Structure 1
Amino acid sequence: MKEDFLENGAEVVSLFCRLYINTKKELPIRSSHMGLLIFTVKSQTPVTPIEAAKFFKVKKPMITAMVTSLEKNGYLEKQPSPTDGRSYRLLPTPKSITLVEETYNEYFRTMDTLYHGMGEKDYQQMIALLARANDILEQGRD
């Protein structure tokens, strides 16, 4: 009985992930790169790679690779830190600001569809449960 419940749960989560990941996003860059751009553009203060890694819960080398690609394509600039000569801050270029403004709503279209389809209460409950699940899985990684 428990195995059937777990198997069904795995299938439901797997389908949700496939539907979300396969949502057509008309972006000129990878979705993960877009996430970093949104974070950088929407931040009230300049972002460092370490802050971005903490926010996205990934290792700094992953952020460094994204920054290298985004910088090469004119979406980000690196500004040396005024307090730490080894660090730098990420500055969005006008090109990235325009991209975020033009595609922000498209990027979150799936979440908007869920919000309107489920209603605010169920949507908030889903997000709260997913946040709790993320916390449990993260604790298992440590």
Structure 2
Amino acid sequence: MYSGRTGESIDTIYWIEGEYIPDALKEITYFMRDWRNAKLMGIDARTVDIMAASHSLMDVTEPYMLLSGYRSPETNAMLRSRSGGVAKNSLHLKGQAADLRLKSRSVKQMAAAAQACSAGGVGTYYGSGFVHMDCGPVRTWNG
């Protein structure tokens, strides 16, 4: 369901009959690591739920392109120094956020699907062509 900046891809079932599959969540955590320095942080399954539900609502088979999952403090600080759109206390630092893109859907379509989940934050980044999804408080913004 996801492809990453490093050329990796992942298509795994992480939930069966009301239960998360620990090994699948470990695989997702590895996939969503900070690709700049290979540091890991457990990914909050609620974020994966939002991503999966949004993907399902869009009725697509194309995998998400994962631009950013977990971000180490070093990576977040570096990105903040280059852009005013990076939060100091980003939920990426806690493994609770993902920046995603789909070739077959617009930022507007992706954001609408994520917002329909009423389950977290949705940021639209039209200039960069991606949507931020997180499991924090329900809110929206334009970056």
Name the TM-score, length of structure 1 as normaliser. 0.28
Q: Quick check: which one's strand share is greater?
A: 2
Bigger radius of gyration: 1
Q: Quick check: which one's helix share is greater?
A: 1
